[in-house]
Amino acid sequence: RDGIIKTLAWHYDRAFPYGGRQNKKEHSNEKSDYIASQGIESCLPYDKECLRAAPVFPCASECSHEAQCTKSYFDEVIAWTQSLTSECETVLYTVDLDESLSIVPSAHLKLKTTSKSFLKGNCNLAFVLEQSRLVQSLRNSYRMSSFIGSGQNKLLRNGAWILVPLNVPSNTSEDLDSDVVKLLPKLSPGLFFGSNTKRAIYVDSNILLDSIPNLLREAATQPYNEEMEGATAMLIGRGTPKDYFSDEDEDNMGTNQRALDSSSTLVQNSAYRMVRIAVADKLFGDGFMELLDSRWMVHTLQSDDARLFRCDVLGEVVQWEVDSDRSALEFVLGLHDMWSRVIVKASG
């Protein structure tokens, strides 16, 4: 009996990977809830043998199991950011956790007079440190305004950005888990915004988009096939290829890059290259060149397929304990592309 239950729990976890919050609620009943409780949800967060290589995500991630996740400093602000963006169909957001930050670099820039680089309303959010110079300066000025009878209940703003201060404990600065958590809104924004939000546009704090409407139109474009339904899970920049091991600069560039990468990143990239060789190099990228520009990306929300793609990427980052998303993005994109081509070819 126990063996049958464990087998059913294993299949249940495969059917509803990464928490599967929405689908689980639709199919929830007493029996399925019991089966689910015997699978990954029954494991302790750091019991690797019980988890069987399944990653444990931060609670603020759309990929986490509600009964099993790790707390982070984003937990305190999610309810507020959801309320703040409740009327936003699209959200533009950035993350800059530099304590010395005195201004969001893109806040007061303008590419040209016709540029549409920000959204209307409370739909432009910047996640910053509570301890940053920018937040402290604005709080001091608001206290002074309040003292003279104005400035009550004001949002902290820097240009078009609404600041979301994060209370990050100082003892997490050197923690590997902290590096992963910093990437959380960028790679897994599904729980951060209102239920009406359909698109979430991430940009680095020093990136300014020329036209958000054009970008949204491009994100909505997809190949048409009357026999198949689909949607764009993510729109991401195609970076200028940069070969770290090119012949002309092999000694300097290769050595510098290897010195900059952590040991986890080097092992991660080596494993990915072995997989590429094993599948006859059918994957996107080659592990040596930057092919994606992840300084900006457009996420499609309210789509479980898009959520699963994001969770695959975040899962790689969590498992390898790396501080960069570049290798994981290229690898997972390659896997999804390869399987899509295999399915299309098999189906004729």
Note the pLDDT tens digit of each residue in 193-215. Answer: 999 999 999 999 999 999 999 99
**Closest-CA residue to 25 (of 38, 36, 14):** 36
Amino acid at site 158: N
Per-residue pLDDT at 46: 75
C-alpha separations of 135 from 34, 96, 99, 104, 217 in Å? 46, 12, 10, 11, 34
Least confident of 99-103, 230-234, 295-299: 230-234
The per-residue pLDDT for 243 is 41
| Mean of pLDDT values over 213-241 | 75
Report, as an integer, the average pLDDT of 208-232: 79
Structure tokens at 319: 């498992």
Alpha carbons 250 and 245: distance in angstroms, whole number:
5
Give the Cα-Cα-Cα angle 212, 313, 183 (nearest 5 degrees).
Answer: 65
Position 267, amino acid: V
Q: Is the pLDDT of residue 309 over 70?
A: yes
Take residue 80 and report the two structure tokens written for it. Answer: 């507020």
- The least confident of 8-17, 53-62, 64-73 is 8-17
* pLDDT(176) > 70: no
What pLDDT is stored for residue 151 in this prediction?
Answer: 46
Rounded average pLDDT over 51-63? 88
**149 vs 78 pLDDT, higher one:** 78
- Ranked by mean pLDDT, which of 127-136, 243-252, 261-270 comes out on top? 127-136
Of 98 and 330, which is predicted with more confidence? 98
At 295, the pLDDT band (50, 70, 90 cuts) reads: very high
pLDDT of 62 > 80? The answer is yes
pLDDT at residue 124 in the model? 98
* H-run or E-run covering 158: strand 157-158
- Nearest Cα to 124, choosing from 106, 102, 149? 106
39/192 Cα distance (integer angstroms): 27
Cα separation of 46 and 104, whole Å?
Answer: 37
Helix (H) or strand (E) holding 304: helix 304-320
Q: Is the pLDDT of residue 341 over 90?
A: no
Lowest-confidence segment of 212-226, 229-243, 330-344 by average pLDDT: 229-243
Amino acid (one-letter) located at 179? D
Position 65 scores a pLDDT of: 84
**pLDDT, position 9:** 84
* Whole-structure pTM value: 0.82
Task: Dig out the tokens for 138 from the structure.
Answer: 């604005």
**Mean pLDDT, residues 109-116 taken together:** 82
141 — pLDDT class (breaks 50, 70, 90): confident
How far are the Cα atoms of 63, 136, 302 from residue 295, in angstroms, in the given order? 22, 27, 23
Averaged pLDDT of the chain:
80
pLDDT tier for residue 175 given thresholds of 50, 70 and 90: low
If you average pLDDT over each of 8-22, 27-41, 131-145, 204-218, which comes out highest?
204-218
Q: Which residues, including other chains, have CB under 8 Å from residue 88's CB and lie 6 or more apart?
A: 119, 121, 122, 123, 193, 194, 196, 197
φ and ψ of 65, to 5 deg: -80, 130
Does 206 or 347 have the greater pLDDT score?
Answer: 206
The pLDDT of residue 334 is above 50: yes
Give 300's contacts (C-beta < 8 A, 6+ positions apart): 198, 199, 219, 231, 232, 233, 234, 306
SS3 content of the chain, % helix, strand, coil (to 5): 45, 15, 45
How much is the average pLDDT of 24-38?
A: 70
φ, ψ of residue 58 to 5 degrees: the values are: -60, 150
Contact 128, 104 (CB under 8 A): yes
Q: In what order do the strands lie in the sheet with 234-238?
A: 157-158, 161-166, 124-129, 90-96, 199-203, 292-300, 234-238
Distance CA 159, CA 319 (A): 37
Does residue 76 have a pLDDT over 90? yes
Confidence of residue 8 (pLDDT cuts 50, 70, 90): confident
CA 243, 248, 250, 251 torsion-angle sign: negative
